[in-house]
Structure 1
Amino acid sequence: MMKVFTEIARACAVAWLLMLYLVCASLPARAELQGLSEHEMSSIDGAGVGLVLENFKFSHGTDLPDVGGNQARIFRIAGIRSTDGRPVDITVNHLYISGPGSNYGEDLSPVNLGRLVNPWRIDIVDGNTIEIPDKAVLEFAAPAMVGASEGFDCISSGAVAGSGTCSSRPATADYSGERPDIGLQMNVAVGDDRSANINIHAKSAVIDGSYLRLWGDNVRGQMVGQFKLNFFTPELSITACAQDGTSCGSRILMTDFALQLALGNQLQPVFFDVDGSGNFVVDVASIRQPAAGEIGVDGLRGSSDAERWDYYEAYYTNPDYRSNLEIGNFSVGTRDFGSARVEGMLIQHLNIRTRDLAQ
C-alpha cells in the first residue's frame, strides 16, 4: 500500500531528473568568461552557490503518443485511490518555462533566470545574522529584492529602473529579461473518468525575495524551516478544458496578481515531521501563551515582564511575518468581480497532514 507522500516524493524526484536531463540534452554546452564592472564585483562575496540560466526555455512534452505509439514524455503520479477504491491518476500533460509572449506555451522563446549580480542562491547562512541564534541555516533563495532606486516594478511589463523593488527586469528590445511565462496543463482522472484538463498560466512571472530556510531544532529533534513566497504576475489564468482540448469552460482571470506569503518565522517556525503511520506532517505551532502576570492588565510594557512584552511586540508588529494578497481585477468568463485585497494576514496556527487515501 503506497502512501500519498511517498508517491508524490517519488514523482517529484523523477520530474527533477527528467528536467535536468532535458535541459542538459537540449542546451548546447557553452562557456564564456565575461568581464564584470567594479560595481558588479562589489556585490559578489564568493559565499554559497549562485545559479544563473541565460537564454533558457523549457517544455515538457504532452500526453499524446509519439510516432511509435509510445507515451515516453509523461510525468505521472499514480498509486493513489479514491474513497470508493478507484485509482486516481494525475498526469502533467504540459509544463513550460518561456520568455514573454509565449501564447500560453504555444510559442516558446528564451528567457534569463537570475542575474550575475543577483542570482538564485544555495547557501549556508549564519543564523545570528537572520535572528535564528547559534544555528547554521540552509537557504534556497530566488533573486533578492533591491532598493526602490535601482529596482523595477514587480508587475508592470514596461517597468524601468527606479520604479520598484524587484531585481528581475522585464524584457525589452535589447535583452530577454528575467521574467518567464510559466504554465501547467494537468489532468486528474478518477477511474475511467478523464473528462477535463486543468490549465494554469502566468505571464511575466516574478518571485524575487522568495526563499526556503531549513535548520534543526534541538528541543523537538526535528527539521524546522521558514518559507517566504513572493509571486507577481500581470496575468494569472485558470481554465478547465475537455480532454482533447477542443472546448473549455469559463476562464478564471486574475490581473495584476501579487502574493506575499509568509509561512513560519524566527519566533514561530514551521516543523516538518513524519508520524507513526508514515504520513508527512507540516506544523506551525501556536505562539507561546503568556503566563499569569507576564503581561500587565493594561497591556503596557511598564506593567509587564519587559522581555516577554518585547517578544509579543516583535511577533505582532513585524510586517515580514504577515501575508498579503492583491488582485487588480478578478473575472470569471464575461463576469467581472473587480479588485480584491487581503492585507496583514498572520498565520497563528497551521497543521497539515497527508492521509493514505487507500485506507
Structure 2
Amino acid sequence: MIGGRGSRGRVGYRYPFVLWVLLLISPSLNAELQGLSETEMSRIDGAGIGLVLENFKFSHGTDEPTASGEQARIFRIGGIKSTDGRDVDITVNHLYVSGTGSNYGQNLGPVNLGRLLNPWRIDVVDGNEIGIANRAVLEFAAPGKVGAGQGYDCMSSGATMGSGTCSSRPATADYIGERADIGMQMNVGVGDDRSANLNIHAKTAVVDGSYLRLWGDNDRRQMVGQFKLNFYSPELSINACAQDGSSCGSRILMSNFALELAIGNQLQPVYFDVDGSGNFVVEVAPIRRPQPGQIGSDGLRGSSDPEAWDFYQAYYSNPEFRSSLSIGNFSVGDRDFGSARVQGMLIQHLNIQTRDLSP
C-alpha cells in the first residue's frame, strides 16, 4: 500500500492485483513494451479497474489560523455574483471521511473503502447486458449489493453476515470496517454578509449498489446517463452554528436514514448538455406517450400493440426505476416528529439548469 500524509489527512492507495503477482514472480523483472496491431487489440477484453482504500482517513480544513487570522486550508467556490451584483463564495471549512466513532469529525480514525472481493469499480460494460442495446457504457460504481445470505444489514452498526444485502461490513472490536463517518461544514458569503456554518454529518454511511453510467446518444448527439444513489446511515444530522462556534441552533436529526434514488434508466435516460449561454442542463425527458390504438381500452396486452404494451409494462413495473426515502425517526431539537416514508416514486420528467446571476 502506498500512503501519503498531508497536514491533516492520510490517503492510501492499493496496487492492482496484477501488479502484486508480477512483483512476486521475480525480484528482478525486465520487460519491454511492444505495440499491438488492431487485430491484436480487438481480442483484448478489458476487466476494468477495481479500487480499494485500506486504513483510509481524510480531513480537510479547520487548521490553525494564519498570522492574519484567516483559516490556512479551506475549499472555496467563487466567481458567482448575486442578483444585486455582490460577489458570492461558498466556503467548505471542514470535510472529513473517517472510521466509526469520529464524534462528528472531532476524533478521526481509519476506515476501509471497498474490499478485494467487492471493490469500487471503473469499468466499460456491455450495454446489452444491462438493457442499453448496442452501446459501450462507462460505469463508475460503488461496491455492489449481494444476496441476503452473504451480506449485512445496510443500517445496523452491529449487523452480522446473513442479515442483509450490503457487502460493506460494520466495524467490530477486531476490524475497522468499511462504513465511514462523513461530514462537512460550510457557509455562504454574499458580499460582506456571511451565513452561519452549516454542519452535515452521517454516521457509518453505506452507499453499496450506487453507480453512474454514461454513454452516447446518436440521435441527440450528446452524453446521456443513468444514476443510482443508495445512501444508508443510522444517523444523519444537520445544524447551523455561529461563525466562531459560540452557539448552535437546534440539530435536525434523522435516524435510520435510507435513500434509494434513481435518476434516468435505459428507457428514459438523463441527458447532459450545455446551452448556448454556457449553462449546464440536466434533463430527464418525458416518457413517450402512447399513440392512439397502441394500448387497448381494457389495458390488456391481447388488445394492444405488443411492442408498445411491453415498453410501458417494463417502464412502470420495474422497481429499479423507482426511488424511495425512509426515515426511522425525525426530530428537531427536543421535538420528535416520528417516522416518514416516500415509497416507489418514479421520476417521469426532470429539468435542472444553471443560471447566470450576474447583472
Q: TM-score, normalised by structure 2?
A: 0.88
Indicate the SS of the match to 2:146.
Answer: coil
Q: Are positions 1:349 and 2:346 aligned together?
A: no
In structure 1, what is the equivalent of residue 170 of structure 2? 170
Partner in structure 2 of residue 7 of structure 1: none
Relative CO higher for 1 or 2, CA cutoff 8 Å, sep ≥ 6?
1
Hey, what's the Cα distance between the residues in 2 that align with 1:265 and 1:283? 12
Does the residue aligned with 1:204 lie in a helix, a strand or coil?
A: strand
Residue 239 (structure 2) aligns with: 239
- Alignment partner of 1:66: what SS? coil
2:280 matched residue in structure 1:
280
Preserved CA contact (<8 Å) 2:14 2:54: no
Counterpart amino acid of 2:220?
R
Instruction: Give, in whole Å, the separation in 2 of the partners of 1:185 and 1:28.
Output: 24
Which AA in structure 1 matches 2:202? Answer: A
Match of 1:309, SS state, is helix
In structure 1, what is the equivalent of residue 144 of structure 2?
144
Distance (whole Å) between structure 2 residues aligned to residue 67 and residue 28 of structure 1? 32
Query: How many percent of aligned residue pairs carry the same amino acid?
Result: 75
Give, in whole Å, the separation in 1 of the partners of 2:9 and 2:156: 34
Q: Give 1:55's aligned residue.
A: 55
Q: Is the 8 A contact 1:151 1:163 kept in 2?
A: yes
Matching residue of 2:316: 316
CA distance in 1, matches of 2:122, 2:341: 33
Q: Aligned in 2, Cα 1:127/1:48: closer, same or farther, shift over 3 Å?
A: same
What does residue 3 of structure 1 align with? none
Work out whether 1:298 is the aligned partner of 2:304: no
- Of residues 277-286 and 291-300 in structure 1, the stretch that sits farther from structure 2 once superposed is 291-300
User: In structure 1, what residue type is equivalent to 2:138?
Assistant: L
Partner of 1:329: 329
Give the greater-gyration-radius structure (CA). 2
**Structure 1 position 117, deviation (Å):** 0.2
Q: Is the alpha carbon distance of 1:67 and 1:161 closer, same or farther for their aligned partners in structure 2, counting shifts above 3 Å? A: farther
| Distance 1:26-1:343 versus aligned 2 partners, 3 A rule | closer
Pairwise CA distance, 1:62: 2.0
How far apart are 1:255 and its partner, in Å? 0.1
Q: What residue identity is the alignment partner of 1:336?
A: D
Which residue of structure 1 lines up, in the alignment, with residue 262 of structure 2? 262
Please state whether the residue corresponding to 2:212 is helix, strand or coil. strand
Q: Write the mapping of 1:1-359 to structure 2, written as runs, cut at 5 A.
A: 22=6, 26-27=10-11, 47-62=47-62, 65-66=65-66, 71-359=71-359
Deviations 1:218-273 (A, max 9, x none): 00001000000000000000001000111100100000000000000000000000
Contact map agreement 2:16 2:50 (CA 8 A) in 1: no
Change (3 A) 1:27 1:205: closer
CA-CA distance at 1:72 after TM superposition: 3.6
Q: Give a deviation string over 1:84-122, Cα, whole Å, max 9, x none.
A: 222111100000000000000000000000010000000
Q: Output the CA distance in 2 between the equivalents of 1:181 and 1:29.
A: 19
Q: Is the 8 A contact 2:12 2:56 kept in 1?
A: no
Post-superposition offset of 1:66: 3.1
Q: Which structure 2 segments of 5+ residues have no match? A: 22-44
Equivalent AA in structure 2 for residue 351 of structure 1 = N
Q: Secondary structure at the match of 1:176?
A: coil
Quick check: 1:113–1:178 contact (8 Å CA) kept in 2? Answer: yes
> Aligned-residue CA RMSD in angstroms?
2.2
The residue matched to 1:338 in structure 2 has which SS? strand
Work out the CA distance in 1 between the residues paired with 2:96 and 2:275.
35
2:125 aligned partner, one-letter code: V
CA distance in 1, matches of 2:206, 2:327: 15
8 Å CA contact retained: 1:144, 1:208 = yes
Q: In structure 1, what is the Cα distance between the partners aligned to 2:344 and 2:6?
A: 41
Query: Is contact 2:14-2:53 (8 Å) kept?
Result: no
What letter is aligned with 1:185?
A: Q
Q: Relative to structure 1, is the Cα distance of residues 58 and 350 closer, same or farther in structure 2, using a 3 angstrom cutoff? A: same
- State how far apart, in whole Å, the 2-side matches of 1:177 and 1:189 are: 38
Name the CA distance, whole Å, in 2 between partners of 1:285 and 1:326. 27
- Shift in Å, 1:65: 1.9
Q: Aligned equivalents of 2:350 and 2:162: distance in 1?
A: 38
Sort the Cα spacing of 1:23 and 1:282 in 2 relative to 1 into closer, same or farther, 3 A. Answer: farther
**How much does 1:32 deviate?**
11
Q: Alpha carbons of 1:32 and 1:51: their partners in 2 closer, same or farther (altered >3 Å)?
A: closer
Measure how far apart 1:83 and its partner are: 1.3
Counterpart-to-counterpart distance in 1, 2:16 and 2:308: 55
Over 3 Å counting, the alpha-carbon distance change for 1:90 and 1:28 in structure 2 is closer
The answer to whether the Cα contact below 8 Å between 1:63 and 1:93 also exists between their aligned partners in 2 is no
1:23 and 1:58 in contact (8 A); partners too:
no
- Aligned partners of 1:59 and 1:94 also within 8 Å: yes
More helix by share: 1
TM-score, reference length from structure 1: 0.88
